[in-house]
Amino acid sequence: MPSVDLNNKVAIVTGAAQGMGRAIAEMLSAKGAQVAVVDTDENKAISVAERIKGVAITADVSKSEDVNNMIKIVMERFGNVDILVNNAGIVRTSRIENIDYDEWKLVLDVNLNGVFLCTKAVLGIMNAQQFGRIVNISSSAGRSVSTLGGAHYTTSKAGVLGFTRAVAKEVAPFGITVNAICPGLIDTEMVHQHCSPEQTQAYLNSFPIPRLGTPEEVAQLVCFLVSEAAYITGASIDINGGDLMI
């Protein structure tokens, strides 16, 4: 990748206290961006933000008042938003017969409605400056069916892909690109929590590249999309070791 320079860019990364979000926040910062580390986990967000000299913001992306407050803090601190990475997400593994309406709404609220709320919150700012880069972390689940998650998870991630395309088309005239990344199994807490080592190994054995992806590999793709990739928009980009080829 050509050397990426994100000096003078301001980035918001949701779900950045651990896992992929943390790797994305760290890499954007290493490339020069000023980063808002947004998460519901206040302590972990603070420790990431301290390390990268960013700002920690405690916010639940599914709550509009939290999202409004997040934007207020970012504008007060940095005066701008150039990059939004909608990464915050949760997984629930219940099969359809065990998904009650509350659990359904929880997963859709965080994984899909959170993407809507955060995107809406930054579009006016990006529109005014005629520049913006939005990257939505979907999943292979959005392209096919989730390995770990239930129907709500797959539905939410498929919804993110549709949202990405629809918004990308509308905002392209304003210099804003909107893309989705579809990771396969990535080595994070989410996988460790919901997948036994034996189950993980069985999945890996079936992958053309038989290992977990790393959060840093996803972060590199985000860096590319927010810097070099001015002609890519509305895309859903797979990063899954060849697990899914469609």
Assess contact for 180 and 235: CB atoms under 8 A: yes
Which own/partner contact pairs does 119-125 have at CB distance under 8 Å and 24+ positions apart? 119/84, 119/86, 119/163, 119/167, 119/178, 121/67, 121/68, 121/70, 121/71, 122/12, 122/71, 122/81, 122/84, 123/167, 123/171, 123/176, 125/71, 125/75, 125/80, 125/81
Q: Does 188 bind ligand NAD (CB under 6 A)?
A: yes
Candidate segments 86-94, 162-170, 222-230, 231-239, binder of ligand NAD by CB under 6 A: 86-94
Q: Judged by CB under 6 A, does residue 62 bind ligand NAD?
A: yes
Tokens describing residue 157: 């991630």
Contact 17, 44 (CB under 8 A): yes
Q: What is the size of the binding site for ligand NAD (CB under 6 A)?
A: 29
Closer residue to ligand NAD, CB minimum distance, 131 or 224: 224
Q: Which of 87, 154, 227, 233 binds ligand NAD (CB under 6 A)?
A: 87
Tokens linked to 89:
């997400």
Which residue stretch of 75-83, 118-126, 166-174, 185-193 sits at the interface with ligand NAD (rule: CB under 6 A)?
185-193
Q: Does 67 bind ligand NAD (CB under 6 A)?
A: no
Q: Which range touches ligand NAD (CB under 6 A), out of 28-36, 46-54, 87-95, 120-128?
A: 87-95
Q: Tell whether residue 88 is a contact of ligand NAD (CB under 6 A).
A: yes
Residues 174 and 126: beta-carbon distance below 8 Å? yes
Using the minimum distance from each CB to ligand NAD, give the nearer residue, 21 or 150: 21
**Site residues, ligand NAD (CB under 6 A):** 14-15, 17-21, 39-41, 60-62, 87-91, 110, 114, 137, 139, 183, 185-186, 188-191
